[in-house]
Amino acid sequence: MEAPNYSVLPIIDLEYNPSPAGDRLLLNSPCEVCGDHSSGKHYGNYACDGCAAFFKRSIRLDRHYVCKRGNPGACPIDKVLQNQCRACRLRKCFEVGMKQEAVHPSLSIADVDQLLALKWLPSLTDIVLP
Amino acid sequence: MEAPNYSVLPIIDLEYNPSPAGDRLLLNSPCEVCGDHSSGKHYGNYACDGCAAFFKRSIRLDRHYVCKRGNPGACPIDKVLQNQCRACRLRKCFEVGMKQEAVHPSLSIADVDQLLALKWLPSLTDIVLP
DNA sequence: CTAGGTCACCGTGACCATC
DNA sequence: GATGGTCACGGTGACCTAG
Ligand SMILES: [Zn+2]
Ligand SMILES: [Zn+2]
Ligand SMILES: [Zn+2]
Ligand SMILES: [Zn+2]
């Protein structure tokens, strides 16, 4: 899941090496949320960078999602479908035991901006205000 | 579905007017793809700005999506679920009759860049190469 | 009117610095 | 090791102009 470096002209970078810093990833500890490769434990459980960042953002911004499909329990969450339903992705983060207490608050300007903007999000997204 | 202007500090813009240029939208001609308000016909059918732009981008970049859910015909496409499945959204664009011939090619640098980058997209997205 | 085009905005996740 | 943080990147859609 390591992405190529787009800042390098791809047509020239034919010698693209799929594991530049890929030794960061663990072979036998997949993400407990989506099954992708993890780079270790995050907030209590093995998680990929994506799920870890997603969990952090959700907690920081106090986001509550609603499953658009109305799935009571869970839309399937795997490395293919992972971004399809944020509500169920976050629920699964909690289900596998990721701990929100492990996410420390932050007071960066960017976060404040996002919190402010949050109040003006269109009402049709999957985000519900606290 | 008109979004507020985030460049204005939302906390100050309490007089936010939901129809700044909203007279652009038609009242009785919803988007035939997702049911959102349309601003007229696009590529042959009444379509909202979102579906029109989505259709244009897909044709320009010759994108072929695959339904992650493997729905043979169609995931439901409406203003709530519209972005959940691009494969089925595009299929519905064609089904209601949007015409790809109405999308003219463009040769901007940005498009070429996107076409190049396309070849390096991770294999786990819903995009399949032509 | 419907094309084409723009761009502010957002979510994502790979990567890095810090402890 | 696991935090916090960064930021390049791509997608989106509201809005604009051109014809
Ligand atoms: Zn994951
Ligand atoms: Zn769900
Ligand atoms: Zn639409
Ligand atoms: Zn689908």
Q: Quick one: which H or E segment has residue B112?
A: helix B109-118
Chain B residues within 8 angstroms (CB to CB) of chain A: 1, 3-4, 6, 9-11, 16, 68-69, 79-81, 84-85, 116-117, 119-120, 122, 124
Highest mean pLDDT among A46-60, A104-118, B81-95, B99-113: A46-60
Residue B31 confidence (pLDDT): 94
Query: CB of B115 within 8 A of CB of B49?
Result: no
Residue A19 confidence (pLDDT): 45
Q: Is the pLDDT of residue B113 over 90?
A: no
**Domains of chain A by residue range:** 14-98
C-alpha A122, offset from chain centre = 22
Residue B21 confidence (pLDDT): 53
What number is the ipTM of this complex?
0.69
Closest CA to A69 of B22, B68, B41, B31: B68
Query: CB of B85 within 8 A of CB of B69?
Result: yes
Chain D nucleotides close to protein (CB under 7 A) are: 1-6, 8-16
| CB contacts, 8 Å: A68 with chain B | 80-81, 84
* Closest-CA distance of chain A to residue B130, Å: 17
Query: pLDDT by residue for chain A (130 residues), tens digit each?
Result: 333 322 222 222 333 344 445 577 777 789 999 999 998 999 999 999 999 999 999 998 888 888 887 776 578 888 877 678 899 999 999 999 999 999 988 655 444 544 444 443 433 467 776 5
Q: Which CATH number fits domain B14-98: 3.10.20.600, 3.30.50.10, 3.40.640.10, 3.40.50.620?
A: 3.30.50.10
Residue A29 confidence (pLDDT): 85
